[in-house]
Chains A and B, each alone.
Chain A
Amino acid sequence: MIRSSPPAVELQHDIKGRSLWQDAVRRLARNRAAVASMIVLAVIALLAVFAPMLSPHPYDEIYWDRIQMPPDFANGHWFGTDSNGRDLFVRTLYGARVSLMVGVLATAVSLVIGVIYGAVAGFVGGRVDDIMMRLVDILYALPFMFFVILLMVMFGRNIFLIFVALGAVEWLTMARIVRGQTLSIKHRPFIEAAHACGVTRTGIIFRHIIPNVLGPVIVYVTLTVPQVIMTESFISFLGLGVQEPLTSWGVLIAEGARLMEAAPWLLVFPATLLALTLFAFNFIGDGLRDALDPKDR
């Protein structure tokens, strides 16, 4: 005779459930490329913040006697000096500050605007959706460079204008992605259930829709950051970006490309760092997509 035995374990403590987010983090931690990329990014970010303090040279000091010198460890010019005799190591890391800041801040701006805009358009639907998305289409059609040049002419060169311009352009794609995701989940039964429980529309958007569309959004964010860094580099390359003596990777690469034959180190160091950063973000994005959507693999 089989007797049902009492549960062997005393269940007194609450069992902590594993959320889908925690599952995703666990899967991400198993992805070597993604973890390595996060380490690389962390190192670059830390260097950008602290390394200029370690170097004996300020970023805008001109050494008249050391113009366009190759890398030399003896005098502390680890990456050499540029055509104006300034230390390239410090300037590259200052450029990293600007580029990473632009990347992160412009993406954050686009994230906030895009997610809310897209979720509202998708959830409300109907005519509101039509009008909101046509507005996005119109803004999409506006040439980006034209927009940037217009801003520069009107307000002068200012680093915050770059954030504004980049954020204003990047949120459009974000809004489209979020709207699409919202459309696909707004008829799921749990949204209907929230409605039946008396949750307001705003409550449904913020408590139910947004947490559930965040997966693809996070992936897109990690792909937007390198895109924004690239765009900033491009603007700076054209001479519309940050103002001297401040610098960014784009400015440094533009100068390096000009002097590529005479002083290759001017191109190699900033370009390598930029490429490393872009690779890292892309690998993280890839890893996140696999981690958040295990069915997709």
Chain B
Amino acid sequence: MSDILLAVRDLKVHFPVRSAGWRGAHCHLKALDGVSFDVRAGESLGVVGESGCGKSTLARALLQLIPPTAGQVLWLGEDIAGLGDRAMRPRRRGLQIVFQDPLASLDPRMTVGDIIGEPLRVFQPELKPDQIRHRVETLMGTVGLLPHMINRYPHEFSGGQCQRIGIARAIVLQPKLVVCDEPVSALDVSIQAQIINLLMALQRQMGLALIFISHDLSIVRHLSHRVMVLYLGRVMELGHRDGLYRNPLHPYTRALLSAVPIPDPDLERARQRVTLTGDLPSPLAPPTGCVFRTRCPMADRRCEEHTPLLEPAGPGRQVACHHWRRNADT
């Protein structure tokens, strides 16, 4: 398995939180609690889950923008978890990120050319200004921006164009893996499609691996080879796209998938929904045992007492549920 770019092992990110009041007691917000997965070269891994489940924390922890509390992040076989700024810098070349808010992730005082060229200036200081400019202009063409807009400022662009700038900045160093942290959720639907198609085209051309974080299951289905479902900072299910969408094993995945609207009124009316009751429990005080048991239709005593581990359930498939076998055939 030499083509594994990134291997994450039991990654934990806990934030210390002080409760209200003078010298309030310390407790930990477990944003990520034992996440493990692999990413292979050229593949795209979709990460789905509702808000507050740790998706964005995962993106930041992978890039060491937030130091992980425990666990390993193996990038090309070496552990980068907790590396300092200086040690991390050369490794950032191959590992880039696209942010959720297109405009806010661009420095308002810099021109587009400066923004896209910034990674080049950092990693290839030997390049002359006109060489950088040439590279930036070529790249702007690649991501669908008109190269003569190189001297414009971010506030002069629309959201979709800003996201193209963000993507150009992420791929200018020809990275191996780009983490996309909800890159389209701030855009409207027609623009979403353009950005998704751009990402897929870039992936084909450059052999990029993508980690695509989203709460939109249809987009993830369109774009991912494999899908990982997160709930309250834990992996619920991980598997190949078709298998997971056709036959979800975890009750949470089933509930998520049944909430996706079908763009056909007749089918939409006829379909069965699994409705979850209640809200996401507080990550400050997660339930004992299985974190999903408070909302799970299948929960029983065992779920309360024993935390289900992520176990293999078929080729390339992993599920963290005591009862997944009951879902396997239905």
Q: A residues near B, CB below 8 A?
A: 11-21, 188-190, 192-201, 203, 207-208, 211-212
B173 smallest CB distance to A (angstroms): 8
Report yes or no: A198 in contact with B148, Cβ–Cβ below 8 A: no
Q: How far is the CA of A245 from the CA of B260 in the complex (A)?
A: 86
Is B97 at the interface (CB under 8 A from chain A)? Answer: yes
Report yes or no: B92 in contact with A18, Cβ–Cβ below 8 A: no
Question: Which residues of chain B have C-beta atoms less than 8 A from A13's C-beta?
Answer: 148
Report yes or no: A196 in contact with B122, Cβ–Cβ below 8 A: no
Question: Which residues of chain A have C-beta atoms less than 8 A from B107's C-beta?
Answer: 190, 194, 208, 211-212
Q: B residues near A, CB below 8 A?
A: 60, 63, 65, 85, 89, 92-93, 96-97, 99-101, 104-112, 118-119, 122-123, 146, 148-153, 155-156, 166, 169
Name the one of A14, A18, A197, A199 contacting B153, with C-beta atoms under 8 angstroms.
Answer: A18
B165 smallest CB distance to A (angstroms): 11
| Apart from A190-B107, A192-B105, A193-B169, 5 more pairs, CB < 8 Å | A14-B148, A194-B118, A200-B122, A201-B85, A208-B107
Question: Which residues of chain A have C-beta atoms less than 8 A from B112's C-beta?
Answer: 17
A168 smallest CB distance to B (angstroms): 30
Question: Which residues of chain B have C-beta atoms less than 8 A from A15's C-beta?
Answer: 148-149, 151-152
Q: How far is the CA of A212 from the CA of B93 in the complex (A)?
A: 26
Report yes or no: A190 in contact with B105, Cβ–Cβ below 8 A: yes
Report yes or no: B109 in contact with A211, Cβ–Cβ below 8 A: yes
Residue of A nearest to B102 (CB): A189
Q: How far is the CA of A18 from the CA of B109 in the complex (A)?
A: 10
Name the one of B101, B109, B118, B153 contacting A212, with C-beta atoms under 8 angstroms.
Answer: B109
Report yes or no: B63 in contact with A196, Cβ–Cβ below 8 A: yes
- Best-surrounded residue of B108, B149, B169 (most CB of chain A within 10 A): B108
Q: How far is the CA of A207 from the CA of B156 in the complex (A)?
A: 20
Report yes or no: B101 in contact with A189, Cβ–Cβ below 8 A: yes
Q: How far is the CA of A189 from the CA of B107 in the complex (A)?
A: 9
Q: Are A12 and B156 CB-contacts (below 8 A) given A190-B105, A199-B118, A211-B109?
A: no
Q: How far is the CA of A197 from the CA of B101 in the complex (A)?
A: 17
Question: Which residues of chain B have C-beta atoms less than 8 A from A14's C-beta?
Answer: 148-151
Report yes or no: B105 in contact with A193, Cβ–Cβ below 8 A: yes
Question: Which residues of chain A have C-beta atoms less than 8 A from B149's C-beta?
Answer: 14-15, 17
Report yes or no: A17 in contact with B151, Cβ–Cβ below 8 A: yes
Report yes or no: A19 in contact with B65, Cβ–Cβ below 8 A: no
A-B contact pairs, 18 of them (CB 8 A): A11-B146, A12-B148, A17-B153, A17-B156, A18-B153, A189-B99, A192-B60, A192-B99, A194-B107, A196-B63, A196-B65, A198-B89, A198-B92, A198-B93, A198-B119, A198-B122, A211-B110, A212-B108
Q: Are A19 and B105 CB-contacts (below 8 A) given A189-B99, A198-B122, A199-B118?
A: no
Q: How far is the CA of A211 from the CA of B108 in the complex (A)?
A: 9
Question: Which residues of chain B have C-beta atoms less than 8 A from A19's C-beta?
Answer: 109, 111, 153
Question: Which residues of chain A have C-beta atoms less than 8 A from B148's C-beta?
Answer: 11-15
Question: Which residues of chain B have C-beta atoms less than 8 A from A11's C-beta?
Answer: 146, 148
Q: Which 7 A-B pairs have the closest CB atoms?
A: A17-B152, A189-B105, A211-B109, A198-B92, A197-B119, A189-B104, A190-B107
Name the one of B60, B63, B156 contacting A18, with C-beta atoms under 8 angstroms.
Answer: B156
Question: Which residues of chain A have C-beta atoms less than 8 A from B146's C-beta?
Answer: 11
Residue of A nearest to B172 (CB): A197
Question: Which residues of chain A have C-beta atoms less than 8 A from B106's C-beta?
Answer: 190, 193
Q: How far is the CA of A18 from the CA of B108 in the complex (A)?
A: 11
Report yes or no: B109 in contact with A20, Cβ–Cβ below 8 A: yes
Q: How far is the CA of A212 from the CA of B119 in the complex (A)?
A: 19
Residue of A nearest to B96 (CB): A196
Question: Which residues of chain B have C-beta atoms less than 8 A from A195's C-beta?
Answer: 65
Report yes or no: B122 in contact with A193, Cβ–Cβ below 8 A: no
Question: Which residues of chain A have C-beta atoms less than 8 A from B93's C-beta?
Answer: 198
Question: Which residues of chain B have C-beta atoms less than 8 A from A212's C-beta?
Answer: 107-109
Q: How far is the CA of A190 from the CA of B97 in the complex (A)?
A: 12
